[in-house]
Amino acid sequence: ATPTALMVGTGRSAKMGILIKNGEVLEAVNDVKTVVFDKTGTITVGKPEVTNVIGDEKAVLELATGLEQSSEQPLASAIVKRAEENKISVPAVSNFQAIEGKGVEAKVNGQKAFVGNDKLLEDVEIDSEMKQQVTTLQEEAKTVVFVGIDNKVIGLIAIQDTPKETSKEAIADLKARGLKTVMLTGDNQLVAEAIAKQVGIDEVIADVLPSDKADHVKSLQESGKVAFVGDGINDAPALTVADVGIAMGSGTDIAIESGGIVLVKNDLRDVDKALALSKKTFNRIK
């Protein structure tokens, strides 16, 4: 009877837009204790927008866009979009380099220019007024990047990505089921905490390098089975390592390939539905 019940279960879920790829997933779901979420594009809409430019707006956007044109990070798209709206002219850059978890660098007029977070600013002085501005923006759930050239910061860009409409309800459903919820992100601690607070996430693990996401999932597995929900190229290893990998249907191909469950409708509330449905199906075939 096992295969039939399995197919009925997965057939019904498929109609709801929840694709369950194999029986192993159904088995693991029963013991899941923790649900871990990627932030950008999973909890948030994934379409960040520039909200503030501090400094000489034109100069800051010109330099930043010169560098970010070559980047595929969602933050980069937000900056390029804002520059296009402002009809900014972009300087020529060479020696472009993306630095994992930090930002981007390139040569502009023979000098080293940069856009990124504070980890990129090894030898750069930031005065206390600017530090305070950064903290204030981060507490408003805005990601702040520093823009500079020749070891000097010329300005800041704050970028906001808002939670999906259903994220809060989705998290509440999981917590009501007794599950612990965790957000895993490369973004700054203050920004991550602000977003976690908006949607009711229990725990935040911030400043995580893409290559370290899977290791964090492994540590969380020490206290029980873990479901990981994500959408990006970065998330593929974590989706694979997790006991239950849940990919957003809007995600990158590699994320979708790595997930045991795919949420076609991109509705985070389907995480809870998928868990409930898998449990039902599993208990029927047990």
Which residues form the interface with ligand ADP (CB under 6 A)? 39-40, 68, 71, 73, 75-76, 101-104, 115-117, 143, 145, 185-187, 210, 234
Catalytic residue among 31, 38, 118, 161: 38
**φ/ψ (deg, to 5) at 68:** -75, -20
State the nearest-atom distance from the C-beta of 218 to ligand ADP, in Å: 18
Beta carbon nearer to ligand ADP, 6 or 134: 134
State the nearest-atom distance from the C-beta of 119 to ligand ADP, in Å: 8
Q: Could you tell me if 283 and 275 are in contact, meaning their C-beta atoms sit under 8 angstroms apart?
A: no
Beta carbon nearer to ligand ADP, 20 or 79: 79
Q: Could you tell me where the beta strands, DSSP code E, fall in 72-110?
A: 94-99, 103-108
Beta carbon nearer to ligand ADP, 50 or 263: 50
Is 41 exposed, middle or buried, given 0-12, 13-18 or 19+ CB atoms closer than 10 A? buried
161 catalytic? Reply is no
Q: Which residue is nearest to ligand ADP (CB)?
A: 186
Q: Which of 261, 219, 221 is nearest to 239 (CA)?
A: 261
Beta carbon nearer to ligand ADP, 117 or 266: 117
State the nearest-atom distance from the C-beta of 7 to ligand ADP, in Å: 36
DSSP code at position 223: G
Measured over the CA atoms of residue 113, residue 118, residue 123 and residue 126, the dihedral's sign is: positive
CA distance 1 to 4: 6
State the nearest-atom distance from the C-beta of 90 to ligand ADP, in Å: 15
Structure token pair of residue 109: 């007029």
Q: Which of 244, 196, 253, 179 is nearest to 217 (CA)?
A: 244
Q: Which sequence positions are flagged as catalytic?
A: 38
